């Protein structure tokens, strides 16, 4: 008999007969239930292993196997298990089995399962319902509809389980729900209940839960529950329902009075809608002076301008009746002085002056006035500060000093540890010098610093993009000449590591781990082959050694042989000559020049042709080279019978001051070497003029790049940097460096070298830094040190310097102030262009302009007030909202700062954009501020 029932139930399951199961399962006897329950594990295993169920539901196209096969029968299996497993605890365990509750499946229909267990005793079904309800964790749990249906069908008392309340609220509502008397009162205490009810609305009429709570629950319970829920805290979404319920119930003044302390506690810290509700209740109460002071102080502490204004408006009315109470409200007023809203600050100042005669202690007012902009603080200082004067005392700009001498170092310092441009240049000079004066000691020193294990894959790399790599290669060549095998043009196909190597490689686990590892390497190698520029930005040297080795082998196996790419080859080698890992296509021109110079040194070392001294080593820490020192070095090279290196000569010329003394050319000619003749012609001709940098803006619309259109909203602009070709110098290396950029280039870790490479051509270094600074790729790989080096350089400044400075004012703030002051002290700050570009960054890019405002104020106070005014004047012309644009707080803040700086500098002259804002009707914060600034600039005040 039991075998018949097992077969019957099995056939119903495999036939997917839900109705048949729902009718048959309640009628089972205890013995039949036991027999069917005993078969459940086997049935589950059969469904897992048999391919038939997959074909039956058509899931094979999705590739589902194992547990996914079982999921198609989960509702049927849940019915059988709930109806046959002996105890409620076991039945719940079965219903919650992971096999039967895949995350991707929807909730089961609870009606057949409720029918399936209807043959069980009432107490058993109630126990099952309560146990299953306790397993609810989230409103979207798959078993929520089933747990609620079982509770209702069994008329069971729901357990005291907070997640169940939120789940019940989120589920489909039921008319005359028997769970309502048990669960509705718990909404004030259950976590998640407020979020589940956040969509309830009061208009046009109260929605379901709002109306039900107001009708069903006692009025006192609703008010107390809402207030207690507010006091426990939460965000606006958590508390929105309770704010609306409190509004719907509308407590009377008497009901609010007994909860006054609670409402006062909510004012300073509760979310805005709750604080606004609490303020309305407080205003209806009869407050004693202490409570009134506490309430207004809390409101002016709020960051929401509307709430702070409400507090000050109430205070104004109260002081009209009791002006002597102003002393009780000093803290509230000084809170308002520090508020972000111009309107709040103005109201607080006006209120203070209105009742100033009743203030006996002005010290707190004067202390609070320091938090106000200078223009707002001025009337308070005039009223309360005895002997105060409006004269502005600026700080002192830094002295323009000549940088110190370039440090002299030995080969024991510098790379590979220190890789700053000064350390590298000093180290190169020391290595070249001691190659001739003390080669034995040099070899010992370099061997200690550049050991065999320092860069184990140095010679495996097809290209070297870091100055550190080239310095390491130079040192190892001097220690062990000829050890570099050179790059291999064609390498054998990489067949992967052996089984033993795979087992020995760290970080891998079995075949799956090896497959993932190999896939990662091949994917990266393909990316590097298709996008060679990635090699310039990915820090391969930071990877573990074994990863570097396998990666480089993988790259070489997939890549085509590199073509020689050496635009700075001083020897004019044919394309077939060894190129010694120099690959500069796609590099920024200063980086390409630097690598070519290092390649030149390495080639000379391999050929035993290093000169006795490097010509280009600076004599000052900013990169400047003294012409007298250059002549001495030329003479030393001539005396040794060795010509200087070509790119060393080119770099030396770039570091000379632009206006040489008249006699230098003749003295250079007298040396008699070919290099000296090049230097002599440079002295006769003078340095090339700085490039005239031009900035244009474009938009990237998919694959198209078009001119920037102000009417295209929510699009980031791209700042394009270019300049006209300068007059050729006759030196290919310098002409390539001075030429305007072509295609987009990549910046590299050598950026800090660039200002020192062109110390008298600041704008040229800035232009290379500015290329790609504002584009669709982020974040740009520049740092504040690049701006500092730029400020130390000499020469004219222009749009490129302004763009770099404006960028760092927005992202680094006060760190950009010292470079700004240094440029101002040298009278080379491009203030007008900086202001204009600062406005364009705020309008056309992802960078916000308002972080720059405190830094500009700091710079003005430290002595650059005139320059900052020029910046602000041109900034406002671009930044202020145009017709149809919404005014924002940064607009007002910028005008307020301009008012202060205009007073400090005595500025005059109308700004049309400010005048247009001042002439608008209304009395917004921006309009009032623009009126004040306009009147100040036109002499109307």
Do 838 and 796 form a contact (C-beta atoms < 8 A)?
Answer: no
Interhelix angle 889-905/865-879, rounded to 10 degrees, is: 150
| Residue-wise pLDDT tens digits, 298-316 | 999 998 989 999 999 999 9
Across the range 317-341, mean pLDDT stands at 88
Asked if the bond preceding 204 is cis, omega within 30° of 0, the reply is: yes
Q: How far apart are the C-alpha atoms of 288 and 296, rounded to whole Å?
A: 12
- Of the two residues 796 and 536, the one the predictor is more confident about is 796
- Three-state secondary structure readout of 644-671: CCHHHHHHHHHCCCCCCCCCHHHHHHHH
Break the chain into its structural domains and give their ranges: 2-187+195-214, 236-384, 421-610
Do 808 and 851 form a contact (C-beta atoms < 8 A)?
Answer: no
Q: What are phi and psi of 19, to 5 degrees?
A: -65, -40
Across the range 547-560, mean pLDDT stands at 41
Banded pLDDT at 527 (limits 50, 70, 90): low
| Residue-wise pLDDT tens digits, 598-648 | 989 989 998 888 999 999 899 998 888 999 998 999 899 988 888 899 898
Q: How far apart are the C-alpha atoms of 926 and 894, rounded to whole Å?
A: 10
Measure Cα distances from 438 to 398, 444, 471 in Å. 43, 10, 19
Q: Which residues contact 426 (CB under 8 A, 6 or more apart)?
A: 406, 407, 408, 409, 413, 414, 617
Burial 798-814, CB ≥16 within 10 A → b, else e: bbbbbbbbbbbbbbbbe
Residue 368: exposed, middle, or buried by beta-carbon count in 10 A (0-12, 13-18, 19+)?
Answer: buried
Could you tell me which residues are beta bridge partners of residue 176?
none
Q: 185-189, 374-378, 539-543, 586-590: which has the minimum mean pLDDT?
A: 539-543
Tell me which residue has tokens 């770039």.
654
Across the range 95-120, mean pLDDT stands at 83
| Residue 223 clears pLDDT 90, i.e. is over it | yes
| Residue-wise pLDDT tens digits, 355-385 | 888 888 888 888 888 888 777 788 888 788 7
Do 71 and 105 form a contact (C-beta atoms < 8 A)?
Answer: yes
| Residue 453 clears pLDDT 60, i.e. is over it | no
CA angle 933, 938, 941 (to 5 degrees): 70
Tell me if the pTM is above 0.85: no
Give how far the C-alpha of residue 264 lies from the chain's centroid of Cα atoms, to the nearest Å. Answer: 39
Could you tell me which residues are beta bridge partners of residue 696?
720
Q: Longest Cα pair distance anywhere in the chain, in angstroms? A: 122
Q: How many CB atoms lie under 10 A from the CB of residue 880?
A: 21
By percentage, how much of the chain surpasses pLDDT 90? 22
Could you tell me which residues are beta bridge partners of residue 762?
none
Banded pLDDT at 941 (limits 50, 70, 90): low
| Residue 560 clears pLDDT 80, i.e. is over it | no
Q: 616-630, 697-711, 829-843, 855-869: which has the minimum mean pLDDT?
A: 697-711
| Residue-wise pLDDT tens digits, 37-55 | 888 888 877 777 765 443 3
How does DSSP assign 389-411, residue by residue? --------PPP--PPPBPPP--T
Banded pLDDT at 744 (limits 50, 70, 90): low
Average pLDDT, the chain: 80
Q: Which residues contact 718 (CB under 8 A, 6 or more apart)?
A: 697, 698, 699, 700, 705, 774, 775, 776
pLDDT of res. 452: 59
């Amino acid at each position: 008999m039991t075998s018949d029932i097992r077969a019957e139930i099995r056939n119903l399951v495999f036939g997917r007969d839900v109705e048949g199961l729902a009718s048959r399962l309640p009628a089972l006897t205890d013995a039949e239930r036991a027999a069917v329950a005993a078969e459940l594990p086997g049935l589950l295993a059969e469904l897992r292993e048999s391919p038939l169920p997959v074909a039956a539901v058509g899931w094979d196209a999705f590739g589902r196997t194992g547990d996914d096969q079982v999921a198609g029968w989960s509702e049927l299996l849940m019915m059988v298990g709930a109806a046959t497993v002996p105890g409620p605890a076991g039945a719940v365990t079965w219903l919650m089995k992971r096999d039967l509750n895949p995350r991707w499946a929807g909730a089961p229909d609870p009606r057949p399962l409720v029918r399936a267990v209807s043959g069980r005793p009432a107490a058993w079904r109630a126990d099952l319902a309560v146990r299953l309800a306790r397993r609810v964790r989230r409103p979207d749990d798959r078993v929520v509809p089933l747990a609620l249906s079982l509770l209702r069908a069994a008329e069971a008392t729901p357990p005291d389980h907070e997640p169940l309340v939120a789940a019940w609220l989120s589920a489909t509502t039921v008319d005359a729900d028997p769970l309502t008397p048990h669960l509705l009162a718990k909404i004030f205490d259950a976590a998640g209940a407020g979020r589940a009810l956040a969509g309830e609305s009061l208009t046009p009429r109260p929605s379901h839960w709002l109306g039900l709570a107001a009708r069903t629950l006692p009025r006192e319970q609703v008010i107390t529950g809402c207030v207690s829920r507010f006091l426990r805290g939460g965000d606006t979404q958590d508390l929105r329902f309770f704010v609306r319920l409190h509004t719907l119930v509308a407590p009377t003044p008497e009901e609010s009075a007994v909860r006054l302390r609670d409402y006062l506690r909510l004012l300073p810290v509760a979310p805005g809608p709750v604080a606004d509700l609490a303020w309305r209740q407080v205003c209806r109460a009869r407050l004693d002076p202490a409570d009134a002071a506490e309430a207004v102080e809390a409101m002016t502490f709020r960051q929401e301008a509307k709430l702070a204004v409400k507090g000050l408006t109430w205070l104004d009315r109260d002081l009209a009746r009791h002006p002597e109470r102003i002393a009780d409200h000093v803290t509230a007023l000084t809170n308002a002085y520090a508020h972000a809203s111009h309107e709040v600050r103005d109201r607080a100042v006006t209120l203070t002056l209105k009742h100033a005669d009743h203030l006996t202690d002005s010290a707190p007012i004067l202390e609070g006035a320091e938090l106000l902009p200078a223009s707002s603080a001025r009337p308070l200082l005039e009223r309360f500060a005895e002997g105060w004067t409006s004269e502005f005392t600026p700080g002192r700009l830094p002295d323009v000093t000549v940088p110190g001498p370039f440090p002299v170092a030995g080969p024991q310092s510098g790379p590979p540890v220190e890789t700053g441009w000064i350390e590298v240049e000093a180290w190169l000079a020391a290595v070249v010098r001691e190659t001739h004066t003390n080669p034995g000691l040099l070899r010992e020193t370099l061997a200690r610093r550049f050991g065999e294990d320092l860069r184990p894959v140095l010679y495996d790399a097809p290209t070297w993009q870091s100055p550190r790599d080239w310095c390491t290669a130079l040192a190892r060549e001097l220690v062990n000449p000829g050890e570099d095998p050179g790059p291999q043009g064609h390498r054998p196909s990489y067949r992967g590591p052996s089984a033993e190597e795979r087992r020995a490689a760290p970080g891998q686990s079995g075949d799956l781990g090896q497959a993932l590892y190999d896939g990662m390497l091949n994917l990266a190698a393909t990316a590097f082959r298709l996008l060679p520029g990635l090699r310039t930005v990915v820090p391969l040297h930071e990877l573990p050694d074994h990863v570097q080795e396998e990666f480089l082998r993988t790259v070489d196996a997939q890549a085509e042989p590199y073509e020689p790419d050496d635009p700075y080859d001083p020897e004019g080698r044919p394309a077939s000559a060894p190129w010694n890992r120099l690959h500069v296509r796609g590099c920024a021109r200063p980086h390409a020049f630097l690598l070519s110079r290092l390649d030149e040194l390495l080639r000379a070392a391999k050929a035993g042709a290093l000169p006795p001294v490097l010509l280009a080593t600076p004599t000052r820490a900013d990169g400047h080279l003294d012409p007298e020192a250059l002549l001495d070095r030329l003479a030393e090279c001539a005396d040794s019978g060795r010509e200087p290196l070509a790119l060393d000569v080119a770099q030396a010329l770039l570091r000379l001051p632009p206006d040489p003394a008249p006699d230098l050319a003749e003295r250079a000619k007298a040396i008699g070497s070919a290099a000296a003749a090049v230097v002599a012609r440079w002295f006769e001709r003078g340095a090339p003029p700085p490039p005239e940098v031009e900035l244009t803006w474009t938009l990237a619309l998919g694959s198209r790049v078009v001119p920037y259109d102000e009417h295209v909203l929510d699009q980031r602009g791209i700042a394009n940097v270019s300049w006209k070709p300068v007059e050729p110098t006759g030196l290919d290396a310098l002409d390539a460096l001075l030429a305007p950029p072509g295609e987009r280039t990549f910046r590299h870790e050598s950026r800090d070298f660039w200002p020192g490479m062109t110390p008298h051509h600041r704008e040229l270094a800035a232009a290379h830094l500015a290329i790609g600074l504002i584009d669709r790729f982020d974040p740009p790989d520049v740092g504040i040190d690049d701006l500092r080096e730029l400020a130390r350089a000499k020469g004219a400044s222009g749009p490129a310097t302004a763009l770099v400075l404006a960028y760092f004012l927005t992202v680094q703030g006060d760190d950009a102030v010292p470079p700004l002051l240094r440029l101002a002290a040298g009278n080379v700050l491009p203030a007008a262009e900086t202001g204009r570009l600062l406005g364009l960054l705020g309008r056309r890019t992802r960078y916000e302009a308002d972080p720059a405002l405190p830094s500009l104020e700091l710079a003005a106070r430290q002595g650059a007030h005139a320059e900052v005014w020029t910046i602000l004047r041109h900034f406002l012309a671009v930044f202020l909202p145009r017709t149809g644009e919404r005014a924002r707080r940064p607009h007002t803040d910028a005008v307020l700062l301009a008012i202060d700086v205009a007073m400090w500098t005595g500025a005059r002259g109308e700004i049309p954009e400010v005048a247009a804002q001042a002439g608008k009707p209304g009395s917004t914060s921006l309009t009032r501020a623009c009126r004040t600034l306009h009147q100040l600039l036109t002499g109307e005040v």
